[in-house]
Protein backbone atom coordinates (compact mmCIF):
# COMPACT_ATOMS: atom_id res chain seq x y z
CA UNK A 1 0.00 0.00 0.00
CA UNK A 2 1.29 3.48 -0.89
CA UNK A 3 1.69 5.86 2.01
CA UNK A 4 0.13 9.11 0.75
CA UNK A 5 2.29 11.13 3.17
CA UNK A 6 5.43 9.92 1.36
CA UNK A 7 4.38 11.10 -2.12
CA UNK A 8 6.48 14.10 -3.13
CA UNK A 9 4.88 17.01 -4.97
CA UNK A 10 6.18 20.37 -6.17
CA UNK A 11 5.13 23.45 -4.22
CA UNK A 12 6.22 27.08 -4.36
CA UNK A 13 7.35 29.07 -1.35
CA UNK A 14 7.65 32.81 -0.95
CA UNK A 15 11.12 33.85 0.17
CA UNK A 16 12.77 37.04 1.36
CA UNK A 17 13.95 39.39 -1.35
CA UNK A 18 17.18 38.44 -3.13
CA UNK A 19 17.64 35.21 -1.18
CA UNK A 20 16.35 32.71 -3.74
CA UNK A 21 19.71 31.10 -4.60
CA UNK A 22 20.90 30.89 -0.98
CA UNK A 23 17.62 29.41 0.26
CA UNK A 24 17.64 26.85 -2.55
CA UNK A 25 21.17 25.86 -1.56
CA UNK A 26 20.19 25.60 2.14
CA UNK A 27 17.16 23.43 1.31
CA UNK A 28 19.25 21.13 -0.89
CA UNK A 29 21.77 20.80 1.97
CA UNK A 30 18.86 19.67 4.19
CA UNK A 31 18.01 16.95 1.66
CA UNK A 32 15.02 18.80 0.20
CA UNK A 33 14.84 19.06 -3.57
CA UNK A 34 14.67 22.77 -4.36
CA UNK A 35 14.70 24.58 -7.70
CA UNK A 36 15.19 28.22 -8.64
CA UNK A 37 14.99 28.97 -12.37
CA UNK A 38 17.95 31.21 -13.16
CA UNK A 39 18.44 33.26 -16.31
CA UNK A 40 21.63 34.89 -17.50
CA UNK A 41 21.45 38.60 -18.08
CA UNK A 42 23.99 41.33 -18.80
CA UNK A 43 24.35 43.92 -16.03
CA UNK A 44 26.21 47.16 -16.46
CA UNK A 45 27.94 49.14 -13.77
CA UNK A 46 29.74 52.44 -14.25
CA UNK A 47 33.09 50.68 -14.76
CA UNK A 48 32.19 47.31 -16.32
CA UNK A 49 29.63 44.92 -17.78
CA UNK A 50 29.11 41.45 -16.41
CA UNK A 51 26.91 38.45 -17.20
CA UNK A 52 25.01 37.44 -14.03
CA UNK A 53 22.47 34.76 -13.16
CA UNK A 54 19.26 36.10 -11.67
CA UNK A 55 16.07 34.31 -10.59
CA UNK A 56 13.41 34.27 -13.30
CA UNK A 57 10.68 34.48 -10.65
CA UNK A 58 11.69 36.90 -7.93
CA UNK A 59 10.63 35.83 -4.46
CA UNK A 60 9.88 32.18 -5.29
CA UNK A 61 11.62 28.87 -4.70
CA UNK A 62 10.11 25.56 -5.80
CA UNK A 63 10.37 22.57 -3.45
CA UNK A 64 9.52 18.92 -4.08
CA UNK A 65 8.40 17.54 -0.75
CA UNK A 66 6.08 15.10 0.95
CA UNK A 67 3.47 16.45 3.39
CA UNK A 68 5.69 15.38 6.30
CA UNK A 69 8.44 17.80 5.23
CA UNK A 70 6.39 21.03 5.43
CA UNK A 71 7.83 22.00 8.81
CA UNK A 72 11.39 21.28 7.67
CA UNK A 73 10.87 23.76 4.82
CA UNK A 74 9.28 26.43 7.03
CA UNK A 75 12.17 26.19 9.52
CA UNK A 76 14.58 27.35 6.81
CA UNK A 77 15.75 30.93 7.36
CA UNK A 78 14.36 33.31 4.74
CA UNK A 79 11.24 31.35 3.84
CA UNK A 80 8.13 33.47 4.32
CA UNK A 81 5.33 31.00 3.55
CA UNK A 82 3.97 28.48 1.10
CA UNK A 83 2.09 29.81 -1.91
CA UNK A 84 -1.56 28.94 -1.33
CA UNK A 85 -4.50 28.36 -3.61
CA UNK A 86 -8.00 28.09 -2.15
CA UNK A 87 -6.55 27.82 1.35
CA UNK A 88 -4.27 24.87 0.56
CA UNK A 89 -0.62 24.74 -0.44
CA UNK A 90 -0.58 25.25 -4.20
CA UNK A 91 0.62 22.11 -5.96
CA UNK A 92 2.58 22.51 -9.16
CA UNK A 93 2.48 19.72 -11.70
CA UNK A 94 5.76 18.00 -12.55
CA UNK A 95 5.10 18.90 -16.18
CA UNK A 96 5.13 22.64 -15.39
CA UNK A 97 8.46 22.39 -13.56
CA UNK A 98 9.91 20.24 -16.37
CA UNK A 99 8.83 22.81 -18.98
CA UNK A 100 10.28 25.64 -16.91
CA UNK A 101 13.59 23.77 -16.60
CA UNK A 102 13.55 23.10 -20.33
CA UNK A 103 12.98 26.75 -21.20
CA UNK A 104 15.80 27.86 -18.89
CA UNK A 105 18.24 25.21 -20.18
CA UNK A 106 17.60 26.14 -23.82
CA UNK A 107 18.51 29.75 -23.09
CA UNK A 108 15.52 31.43 -24.70
CA UNK A 109 15.06 35.11 -23.89
CA UNK A 110 12.41 35.23 -21.16
CA UNK A 111 10.56 37.85 -19.15
CA UNK A 112 8.07 37.39 -16.33
CA UNK A 113 4.67 39.05 -16.15
CA UNK A 114 2.33 38.83 -13.16
CA UNK A 115 -1.10 37.25 -13.53
CA UNK A 116 -2.79 40.62 -12.92
CA UNK A 117 -1.80 41.76 -16.40
CA UNK A 118 -4.77 42.49 -18.67
CA UNK A 119 -4.43 40.20 -21.70
CA UNK A 120 -5.65 41.10 -25.14
CA UNK A 121 -7.33 38.36 -27.07
CA UNK A 122 -4.70 36.18 -28.72
CA UNK A 123 -4.45 32.97 -30.61
CA UNK A 124 -3.75 29.85 -28.62
CA UNK A 125 -0.75 28.08 -30.13
CA UNK A 126 1.19 24.89 -29.69
CA UNK A 127 4.88 24.50 -30.49
CA UNK A 128 5.08 21.83 -33.18
CA UNK A 129 8.82 21.18 -33.47
CA UNK A 130 12.10 21.42 -31.65
CA UNK A 131 12.92 20.81 -28.02
CA UNK A 132 9.81 22.63 -26.79
CA UNK A 133 7.43 20.57 -28.93
CA UNK A 134 4.01 20.17 -27.30
CA UNK A 135 4.12 23.29 -25.11
CA UNK A 136 1.03 25.48 -25.48
CA UNK A 137 0.74 29.22 -25.01
CA UNK A 138 -0.84 32.41 -26.28
CA UNK A 139 0.42 34.79 -28.96
CA UNK A 140 1.34 38.16 -27.52
CA UNK A 141 2.71 39.91 -30.60
CA UNK A 142 0.03 39.26 -33.21
CA UNK A 143 1.87 41.29 -35.85
CA UNK A 144 4.89 39.04 -35.97
CA UNK A 145 3.67 35.93 -34.08
CA UNK A 146 7.07 35.67 -32.41
CA UNK A 147 6.18 35.76 -28.72
CA UNK A 148 4.12 33.29 -26.77
CA UNK A 149 3.33 33.17 -23.10
CA UNK A 150 3.42 29.95 -21.15
CA UNK A 151 1.17 30.26 -18.10
CA UNK A 152 2.19 28.43 -14.93
CA UNK A 153 -1.33 28.37 -13.55
CA UNK A 154 -0.43 26.91 -10.15
CA UNK A 155 1.44 30.00 -9.05
CA UNK A 156 -0.11 32.61 -11.32
CA UNK A 157 2.97 33.58 -13.29
CA UNK A 158 3.44 34.01 -17.02
CA UNK A 159 6.67 33.45 -18.85
CA UNK A 160 7.14 35.23 -22.16
CA UNK A 161 9.32 33.41 -24.69
CA UNK A 162 10.36 34.72 -28.11
CA UNK A 163 10.08 31.96 -30.71
CA UNK A 164 10.12 31.86 -34.51
CA UNK A 165 6.62 31.77 -36.00
CA UNK A 166 7.55 28.80 -38.19
CA UNK A 167 7.42 26.44 -35.22
CA UNK A 168 3.98 27.60 -34.00
CA UNK A 169 0.73 25.86 -34.86
CA UNK A 170 -2.72 27.41 -34.22
CA UNK A 171 -4.99 25.25 -32.07
Q: Which of 61, 92, 123 is where one domain is finished?
A: 92
**How many domains is the chain partitioned into structurally?**
2
For 87-104, what is each residue's pLDDT tens digit? 889 999 998 899 889 888
CA distance 108 to 148: 12
Residue 18 lies in a domain: yes
User: Is 101 inside a domain boundary?
Assistant: no
pLDDT-derived band at 2 (thresholds 50, 70, 90) equals: low
Residue 128 included in any domain? yes
Strand ranges for 57-146 from DSSP E: 60-65, 79-82, 84-85, 88-89, 91-92, 110-114, 124-127, 136-139
pLDDT band at 116 (very low <50, low <70, confident <90, very high): very low
pLDDT value at 29 more than 60: yes
Confidence of residue 168 (pLDDT cuts 50, 70, 90): confident
24 plus 88 within the same structural domain: yes
Of 68, 57, 67, 46, whose CA–CA distance to 24 is shortest?
A: 57
How much is the average pLDDT of 145-166?
Answer: 67
Kindly state whether residue 143 falls inside one of the protein's structural domains: yes
Shared-domain flag, residues 117 and 150: yes
Q: Are residues 76 and 115 in the same domain?
A: no
The boundaries of the domain holding residue 19 are: 4-92
Q: 97: how many CB neighbours lie within 10 A of its CB? A: 18
| Residue of higher predicted confidence among 131 and 67 | 67
Starting at the edge strand that comes first in sequence, how are the strands of the sheet with 110-114 ordered? Answer: 110-114, 157-162, 147-152, 136-139, 124-127, 168-170
In a shared domain, residues 61 and 14: yes
- Residue 41 sits in the same domain as residue 72: yes
Residues 163 and 118 grouped into a single domain: yes
Residue 39 maps to a domain: yes
Amino acid sequence: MININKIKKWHAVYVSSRTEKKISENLNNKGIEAYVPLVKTMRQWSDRKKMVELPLLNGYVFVKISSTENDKVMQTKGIVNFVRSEGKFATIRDLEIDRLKQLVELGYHMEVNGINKEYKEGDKVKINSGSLKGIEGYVIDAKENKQIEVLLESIGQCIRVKLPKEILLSI
